[in-house]
A and B are shown apart, each in its own frame.
Chain A
Amino acid sequence: MSSLVRARSRLLHLPTAATVATPLLRQLRRLSTDDSTTLTIETSVPFTGHKIEPPSRSVETTPKELFGFFRDMALMRRMEIAADSLYKAKLIRGFCHLYDGQEAVAVGMEAATTRRDCIITAYRDHCIYLARGGTLVEAFAELMGRVAGCSKGKGGSMHFYKKENGFYGGHGIVGAQVPLGCGLAFAQKYVKDEAVSFAMYGDGAANQGQLFEALNISALWDLPAILVCENNHYGMGTAEWRAAKSPAYYKRGDYVPGLKVDGMDALAVKQACRFAKEYALKNGPIILEMDTYRYHGHSMSDPGSTYRTRDEISGVRQERDPIERVRKLILAHDIASATELKDIEKEVRKEVDDAIAEAKESPMPDPSALFEHVYAKGLGAQSYGVDRHEVRAVLA
Chain B
Amino acid sequence: MALRRAGRRLNFLRLLTTSASRSILSPSEKKPMTMNLFSAINNALHIALDTDPRAYVFGEDVSFGGVFRCTSGLVDTFGKERVFNTPLCEQIVNEAAKFRYRSGNQFNCGGLTIRCPYGAVGHGGHYHSQSPEAFFCHVPGLKVVIPRGPEQAKGLLLACIRDPNPIVFFEPKWLYRLAVEEVPHEDYMLPLSQAEVIREGDDITLVGWGAQISVMEQACLDAEKDGVSCELIDLRTLIPWDKETVEASVRKTGRLLVSHEAPLTGGFGAEVCASIVERCFLRLEAPVTRVCGLDTPFPLVFEPFYMPTKNKILDAIKATVNY
Contacts and interface: CB of A to CB of B under 8 A. Distances in A.
Interface string A115-157: 0000000000000000000000000000000000111111100
Interface stretch (B99-107, B115-123, B207-215): B99-107
Contacts of B278: 388
B103 A169 contact: yes
Contact of B163 (A168, A179, A213, A379): A379
A213 B89 contact: yes
B313 to A, nearest CB: 29
B107 A163 contact: yes
Contacts of A154: 101-104
Given A376-B110, A379-B163, A388-B278, A170 B103 contact: yes
A133 to B, nearest CB: 14
Contacts of A180: 91, 95
B296 interface: no
B15 to A, nearest CB: 8
A163 B193 CA distance: 31
Interface residues on A, range: 35 or more
Contacts of A171: 95
Interface string B11-22: 010011000000
B141 to A, nearest CB: 5
A374 B100 CA distance: 7
Residue in A150, A155, A214 whose Cβ sees the most chain B Cβ within 10 Å: A155
B91 A179 contact: yes
Chain A contact residues: helix, strand, loop or mixed:
loop
A155 B99 CA distance: 10
B89 A210 contact: yes
Residue in A163, A217, A375, A383 whose Cβ sees the most chain B Cβ within 10 Å: A375
Nearest to B89: A179
Given A217-B87, A381-B193, A388-B278, A176 B94 contact: yes
Contacts of B103: 151, 154-155, 159, 161, 163, 169-170
B129 to A, nearest CB: 26
B266 interface: no
A373 interface: yes
Contacts of A179: 89, 91
Nearest to B193: A381
A381 B240 contact: yes
Interface string A355-396: 000000000000000001111101101110000100000010
B91 A375 contact: no
B140 interface: yes
A374 B242 CA distance: 18
A24 interface: no
Contact of B165 (A162, A173, A372, A379): A379
30 contacts: A151-B103, A151-B104, A152-B104, A153-B104, A154-B103, A155-B102, A159-B103, A161-B107, A169-B103, A171-B95, A173-B94, A173-B95, A213-B87, A217-B86, A217-B87, A372-B105, A373-B101, A374-B101, A374-B140, A374-B141, A375-B100, A375-B141, A376-B110, A379-B165, A381-B239, A382-B240, A382-B243, A383-B140, A388-B278, A395-B240
Given A173-B95, A378-B15, A379-B163, 13 more contacts: A149-B104, A152-B105, A154-B103, A161-B106, A161-B107, A173-B94, A213-B89, A214-B89, A217-B87, A374-B100, A375-B141, A375-B165, A382-B240
